[in-house]
Structure 1
């Protein structure tokens, strides 16, 4: 009975969300919002608990003004940062055979940190109206190639009259992956050359200086 009640409440909430959504709204944390926020990208990140650690890293890298330029930022969440630290902790524990060693924010080299943050940062405004269902290449501030594209989904068929489109950031490795007729990458591509495709869980936040998209919580920070 409890599970049935949860299902009913979830479905009712989804129906309300779909009814309330307008073309230019974005969804964050289950709520519907106007996409414009009256603050800079940095200040918006600073105001949200989901980016507490990311804000510390931006300060550590001395990149506040860069983030607040005329830019588009694909923000990794604190979950991504925590996973990076856990991953590197496991590496050094094995290397030194010491389970008490911890890799911390202070362990991150500044040049490496700046490069990684800049790989998520792009010049100018890149929003949904600038994109299509096909790959569109952009240079990040780290001078790496990325594709940014929209992908249609059938996840909500029956609830919406048009197919929703997910926004993806794709790290291009050794040229764009060759695609099969069904749009899937050619399986013969070596693993080290396969592009890395990351979903934006929230997209199209318009700050006073640029555009902010938020990558999903399992995004591998530092790629």
Structure 2
């Protein structure tokens, strides 16, 4: 009887250790199997932006610039760094605070200088369809804007999931290089979502804390 109990205990212990090892392997495999899902929109980039309330200000700005909307629906190879409503709100708060101190009336998207609006809007649309995988260079990729051929820089700054290089959340640092080779002169922002595919463009969504215009909005619009 003692012999049977002893052997039964060993069998149970061995079975328990096997279960624990199997569970650990499953958990470890889960970490290594992390996959970044890619969002796909079955339409052009303007339709994608128009369909989401967080881009209301952006689409109003696009509609304001002559030809910009039609161009965004027809051009086939674009990367758009999309601005949320908050980016415009921050810019207009700063502008109208300055104007109030100068006894000037407040401005909105419908009343700002459209030529300067086009210049600043151009900074957020670059040539080619560029996902984060296209930006894995130490110094980032130097890009040209799609309408005015202005130089920008983008670098992939994706974090690492446990056990998988570049397997964690994706992020881009996007910079206006201000026509300078020195990074100290650049003005940069980050993304809050990346790699959204529309039919004619890749969309990366700029962090809401970014002020539209890369530091130039007030000076350009306070006329």
Asked whether the two chains share a fold, i.e. TM above 0.5, the reply is yes
Q: How does 1:103-114 map to 2 (within 5 A)?
A: 103-114=107-118
Q: 1:21 to 1:60 in 2, by over 3 A?
A: farther
Counterpart of 2:69 in structure 1 is 64
Is contact 2:127–2:143 with CA below 8 Å preserved after alignment? Answer: no
CA contact (8 A) 1:133 1:151 kept: no
**Structure 1 residue 174: Cα displacement:** 3.7
Structure 1 residues 207 and 94 mapped into 2: Cα distance closer, same or farther (>3 Å)?
same
Higher helix proportion: 2
Q: After the TM superposition, which of the residue ranges 44-53 and 60-69 deviates more from structure 2?
A: 60-69
**1:210 partnered with 2:205:** no
CA change 1:19–1:108 in 2 (3 A) is farther
TM-score of the superposed pair, with normalisation by structure 2 = 0.71
Return the match for 2:149 from 143, 152, 175. 143
Structure 1 contact 86–103 (Cα < 8 Å) conserved: no
Q: What are structure 1's unaligned runs of at least 5 residues?
A: 1-17, 27-34, 179-188
How many Å separate the matches in 2 of 1:20 and 1:108? 49
Larger Rg belongs to: 2
- Answer yes or no: is the 8 Å Cα contact 1:53–1:78 preserved in 2: yes
Deviations 1:114-154 (A, max 9, x none): 11111111122111222214221111133221111112436
TM-score by length of 1: 0.71
Secondary structure, counterpart of 2:200 in structure 1:
coil
Q: CA deviation at 1:19?
A: 9.9
Residue-pair matches, total: 177
Change (3 A) 1:59 1:171: same
Q: Distance in 1 between matches of 2:158 and 2:133?
A: 15
Structure 2: gaps (5+ residues): 1-30, 215-223
Q: What residue number does 1:222 align with?
A: 213
SS of the aligned residue for 2:199 comes to coil
Q: Deviations over 1:10-47 (max 9, x none)?
A: xxxxxxxx899633x14xxxxxxxx2110111011111
Call closer, same or farther: CA 1:19–1:140 in 2, change over 3 Å.
Answer: same
Displacement of 1:67 after TM fit? 2.0
1:175 shift after superposition: 2.5
* CA deviation map 1:73-111 (0-9, x unaligned): 111111011111111110110111x7xx42222221111
Corresponding position of 2:175: 170
